[in-house]
Amino acid sequence: MKHKLFEPYTIKNITLKNRIVMSPMCMYSSDNQDGYAQPFHLTHYESRAAGQVGLIITEATAVLPEGRISHEDLGIWSDEHIEGLQKINEGIHRHGAKAGIQLAHAGRKANLRDEIFAPSAEAFSASMKVPTEMTKEDIQRTVEAFREGAGRSKKAGFDVIELHGAHGYLINQFLSPLTNKRDDEYGGTRENRYRFLRETIEAVKQEWDGPLFVRISGEEYHEDGNTMDDFIFFAREMKSQGVDLIDVSSGGVVPAAIDPYPGYQVTFAEQIKQGADIDTGAVGLITSGNQAEEILQNERADLIFLARALLRNPYWPKEAADELGYPLEGPRQYTRGW
Ligand SMILES: Cc1cc2nc3c(=O)[nH]c(=O)nc-3n(C[C@H](O)[C@H](O)[C@H](O)COP(=O)(O)O)c2cc1C
């Protein structure tokens, strides 16, 4: 039997040894509230690389201090952050895995002491702060911060950049009519709502010619939100700008009850893949090798992103390989137990 989960995947100059991706997960562990990587981060990411994950995408990393989700987020808003991120990458690369970074700005979902910013001055919920509506200068400054973040990511040795355009964070707040109430060229039509992401991608590309992913929420769980037709429009725009892969998640734009089930977001990845003819990543309650193989072999997505399954078991790739009867090589030191 073919084992697509363990087939290499090449994008631009990078070849992943398999299709298993560690999905970005905030660890809220920058304990000194300064955005620096801590010993915990080194162990956390290197152990998943030892577990034979093909691509490890580190957690949402803030391009500006006011773009953090919490005070304990990782940051990349200064050159001083590069060294810690470089150490994470060395650990990941030691095991033949590739390293990605998720560049992020939380917008109105920043849970911080200081002023927060968003496309429009509306809070996410009654318990969250009301953000300040971004001026054109704020927008420019933020786009520039993504550009600088991309330059620092390159210096830190990352192989892939993923822009966080999902879960109701800043980029998503511009894209969605539920959160973008602007009447200037950044709001209104979907072309205008896309403008912030367009400028961000253009800025990132000034510094970065490697693989570029964008994570989006492919369903907003609200009747007035973006539709699949809108997401396919955004995906085509991203493709024409040179984005290599869309990592398709869902939700988080407005408070909404979601009742998840195995693979509940795969259909969004599949529709975007077919509608925009672009590679996609599937994520969300994917827990077994057989489930991953079904998604890949039916060409519903190109990469499999796993979050909680990898928190439970850093050796998930070994578990999936055993399930699929694939002879996965492990770290030399672990041969006797493999
Ligand atoms: C602890 C934790 C932190 C997360 N942080 C992020 C994040 O930083 N960026 C992001 O895009 N998604 C984040 N997510 C969402 C996951 O990447 C993933 O999309 C989601 O958990 C569904 O996948 P799963 O069913 O395999 O866990 C987080 C999820 C968890 C459990």
Note the pLDDT tens digit of each residue in 138-180. Answer: 999 999 999 999 999 999 999 999 999 999 999 999 999 999 9
Give pLDDT, residue 122.
Answer: 98
The residue contributing the CA closest to ligand 1 atom 15 is 25
Residue 70 in this model has a pLDDT that exceeds 80? yes
Give the rounded distance of the alpha carbon of 92 from its chain centre: 17
Note the pLDDT tens digit of each residue in 79-128. Answer: 999 999 999 999 999 999 999 999 999 999 999 999 999 999 999 999 99
What distance in angstroms lies between residue 23's CA and the mean position of ligand 1's atoms? 6
Give pLDDT, residue 206.
Answer: 98
Instruction: Tell me how many domains the chain contains.
Output: 1
The residue contributing the CA closest to ligand 1 atom 4 is 25
What distance in angstroms lies between residue 184's CA and the mean position of ligand 1's atoms? 33
Q: Is 48 known to sit in a ligand binding site?
A: no
In this structure, the number of other CB atoms found within 10 A of the CB of residue 61 comes to 28
The residue contributing the CA closest to ligand 1 atom 30 is 25
Query: What is residue 144's three-state secondary structure?
Result: helix
The residue contributing the CA closest to ligand 1 atom 3 is 25
56 falls within a domain: yes
70 falls within a domain: yes
Here the CATH number for the domain that contains residue 179 is 3.20.20.70
338 falls within a domain: no
| Confidence at 2, pLDDT banded by 50, 70, 90 | confident
Residue 238 in this model has a pLDDT that exceeds 80? yes
Mean pLDDT computed over 298-312: 98
136 falls within a domain: yes
Mean pLDDT computed over 23-33: 98
Pocket of ligand 1 (CB under 6 A): 23-26, 59-60, 102, 164, 166-167, 215, 249, 283-286, 306-309
Q: Provide the total of helices (H) and of strands (E) in the chain, helices listed first.
A: 10, 13
Choose the residue to mutate in 20, 21, 23, 103 for probing ligand 1, maximizing ligand atoms within 8 Å of C-beta: 23
Crossing angle between the packed helical segments 228-240 and 266-276, to the nearest 10 degrees: 50
* Domain membership of residue 248 as a residue range: 4-328
Could you list the beta-strand ranges (E) of 202-330: 212-217, 245-249, 279-283, 303-306
Residue 1 in this model has a pLDDT that exceeds 90? no
49 falls within a domain: yes
Give pLDDT, residue 317.
Answer: 98
Share of the chain above pLDDT 70, in %: 100
Q: Is 274 known to sit in a ligand binding site?
A: no
* Index of the ligand 1 atom closest to the CA of residue 164: 11
